[in-house]
Amino acid sequence: LTDKVMKVAHLPCMTRDGKTIEVLLNAGLSAGFEHSAKLGALGIGLYRTEIPFMNRSCFPSEQEQTKLYRKVLQAFPEHGVTMRTLDVGGDKSLPYFPISEENPFLGWRGIRITLDHPDIFLVQVRAMLRANQDINNLEIILPMISGVEEVDEAISLINQAFFELKTELVTDINAQLMSKNSSNDELTFQQAQRKAQKTAAGLVRPKIGIMLEVPAVIFQMEALAKRVDFFSVGSNDLTQYLLAVDRNNSQVATLYDAFHPAVLKALYSIAQQSAQHGRAISLCGELAAQPAGAILLLAMGFDKISMNGHNVPRIKWVIRHITLAQAHTMLDKTLTLTTPKQVHSYLNEQLELLG
Ligand code: PEP
Ligand code: MG
């Protein structure tokens, strides 16, 4: 990264006329967090929990997961950390949980698997809640949502995990304190109660959001907004599903394009609907890490974008060199274009003008 870019890493991601968009990190392994914090990310926009599940021979226990998630949450104690529940299937497989099917990207993936296996989901959510105790920067996001029933089911499992854990914590502490002091007098009982209450209060129910990556959600935003606190677009999958192009198939790679007019219009509609229903909207796919993508998302009204750490300073630099008015002009013009080719040539031209 050049010096001029690194100089802005710690400055706010703000246009010349004062419009800000938060820049966060995408992560999946704990290594490298400190370095990324140095690059100026304001928290984690997407922690892909399936990644630490991959290089193993069995599912990690609740205790193992708690330890891992705690490290992640502690890396950004002042900022939000959005953890995604397990998103396996599609192209991501676990050696100890084989899935064999004809169209994996249209098959058993993400929330579909964890709702069919509430045991896996509950252990993971319990570990997240435990890890979050007394830090309280956790937000939970659900992958591959295509309808409201999945959201209702997932939220009811999260509530179950939360209330069971709270009860267990209080019972455990009471038991511990009572066994330490067998005299069982009034004072000990009160101390135990206070400690138990404090511990229970340290366990908070986090905000819950969903990934917008299956096109069907674009037409259910109102009902979804009633159920969740925030939305985050997975533009990698949204592009794949909107254009019916496998994101990993080189044969059709030229058709896979997040700057396709249909994808941009979908993003614009999502941003407008989120604002209309009063929900925060972010984007955590690769599009956010491209300068023209970040400018368009800013103009559409996205609150946050998240990306790999090394892209953070560059995106900040670009945003800090434009005005919101310029971004709006670029968006307005882009939305009138009808082919991906026109979009790319127009945006490249504009970026060159910006230097
Ligand atoms: C996405 O789909 O854009 C996304 C961020 O999730 P993943 O790449 O892990 O599917
Ligand atoms: Mg995805």
Out of 210, 236, 241, 257, give the residue to mutate to test ligand 1, the one with the largest number of ligand atoms within 8 Å of its CB: 236
Going from the C-alpha of 29 to that of each of 32, 101, 173, the distances in angstroms are: 8, 28, 32
Do residues 354 and 347 touch, judged by C-beta distance below 8 A?
A: no
Q: How far is the CA of 18 from the centre of ligand 2 (A)?
A: 31
Let me know: does 319 contact 8? Beta carbons within 8 Å. Answer: no
Ligand 1 pocket at CB < 6 A: 46, 48, 87, 213, 234-237, 284-285
Nearest residue (CA) to ligand 1, atom 4: 234
Distance 247 CA to ligand 2 centre (A): 10
pLDDT of residue 32: 61
Per-residue confidence in pLDDT tens, the chain, 355 aa: 688 888 888 899 999 999 999 999 999 876 566 666 667 888 999 999 999 999 999 999 999 999 999 999 999 999 999 999 999 999 999 999 999 999 999 999 999 999 999 999 999 999 999 999 999 999 999 999 999 999 999 999 999 999 999 999 888 877 777 776 655 566 677 777 787 788 888 899 999 999 999 999 999 999 999 999 999 999 999 999 999 999 999 999 999 999 999 999 999 999 999 999 999 999 999 999 999 999 999 999 999 999 998 899 999 999 999 999 999 999 999 999 999 999 999 999 999 998 8
Whether residue 321 contacts residue 314, with contact meaning beta carbons closer than 8 Å, is answered with no
Token duo for residue 171? 């019972």
Residue 85 DSSP label: P
